[in-house]
Amino acid sequence: MDIKGTKTIFASITFFFYLAISGYQFLLLKQQKENQELKIAFLTAIPLLCHGWLLHQSIDTELGQDLNIFNIFSMTFWLMSILITVSSIKKNLCILVMTVLPITGISLIIPASIAQQYVIDASAPGYLMHTLISLVSISVISLAAIQSLYVNVLDNQLKHHPVPAMKGIPALQDMENFLYVLIWTGFFLLTLSILTAILFIPRTGASIPLHKPILSVSSWLVFATFLVGRYRKGWRGRTAVHWTISGFILLFLAYFGTRTVLEFIVG
């Protein structure tokens, strides 16, 4: 069997691992079993290691780094899953685990099934640093967007249909606190991403579409405005959700929108 067939089988097995862990987390939540976070984290480490090996095989080629949109999408969710797994050891993130792991599995299957390449030379000083920081910032802000949706749903549920707290479900206050941690972390990483782009990208001689820095800075301004409003006026609830989703959409368009245009339209 050739390497491509081996990678496809390995990716399929890893995908089912993700689904199985997500399903197991759902059963634990349904049965209202608590204090299973460490067990889930250990189980999740298995497909995460497999996923990391597959990403290495897909991205590092003889010609350079294959950073096509599907590999980037897969790496983004891989990083998101790592962040959730590490954070879940001390925090109750069962809802995020159930949501993100299946999507991470799907993101792994796509590049293994579609022959798409966008090979670049990431060896230029600072370029690899900028790329990694950008990916981590997108991952954290994507998690913040998902978390904000859950905060909004739970807030609406408690306001219109008050129900007793269910074991295993994080309290609304805990979910909001974790959301603000994600936003602050994502904002800090986004700031580093923009600074490294200013410092290093011009040295590589690479041409960047104008809308990418405009959208990235716009996203930065959205999160900066929200954090100032949060500090001075105590913005929370739906206001926090709207600002978070707006900033995420701008950043998503800046990166994935640009990649879509470059790979599928410009070619």
Give tens-digit pLDDT for 69-108: 888 889 999 999 999 999 888 887 888 888 899 999 999 8
Same domain, 77 and 191: no
pLDDT tens-place string over residues 152-164: 888 777 676 655 4
Q: Is residue 115 part of a domain?
A: no
Q: Which of 70-79, 168-177, 184-193, 257-266 comes out lowest in average pLDDT?
A: 257-266
Same domain, 242 and 171: yes
pLDDT band at 8 (very low <50, low <70, confident <90, very high): confident
Segments forming the whole domain that contains residue 77:
1-109
Reply yes or no on whether the pLDDT at 216 is more than 80: yes
Same domain, 135 and 260: yes
Total tally of structural domains belonging to the chain: 2
| Average pLDDT value for the chain | 83
Q: Is residue 30 part of a domain?
A: yes
How far out from the chain centre does Cα 192 lie? 17
Same domain, 142 and 211: yes
Same domain, 173 and 224: yes
Q: Is residue 114 part of a domain?
A: no
Q: Which long-range contacts (CB under 8 A, 24 or more apart) does 220-224 make?
A: 220/187, 220/190, 220/191, 220/194, 222/246, 222/247, 222/250, 223/141, 223/183, 223/186, 223/187, 223/190, 223/247, 224/187
Same domain, 203 and 231: yes
Question: 168's torsion region: left (phi>0), alpha (psi -120 to 50) or beta?
Answer: left
Reply yes or no on whether the pLDDT at 220 is more than 70: yes
Same domain, 155 and 237: yes
Q: Which of 27-31, 175-179, 214-218 comes out lowest in average pLDDT?
A: 27-31
Reply yes or no on whether the pLDDT at 257 is more than 80: no
Residue that wins the pLDDT comparison between 156 and 191 = 191
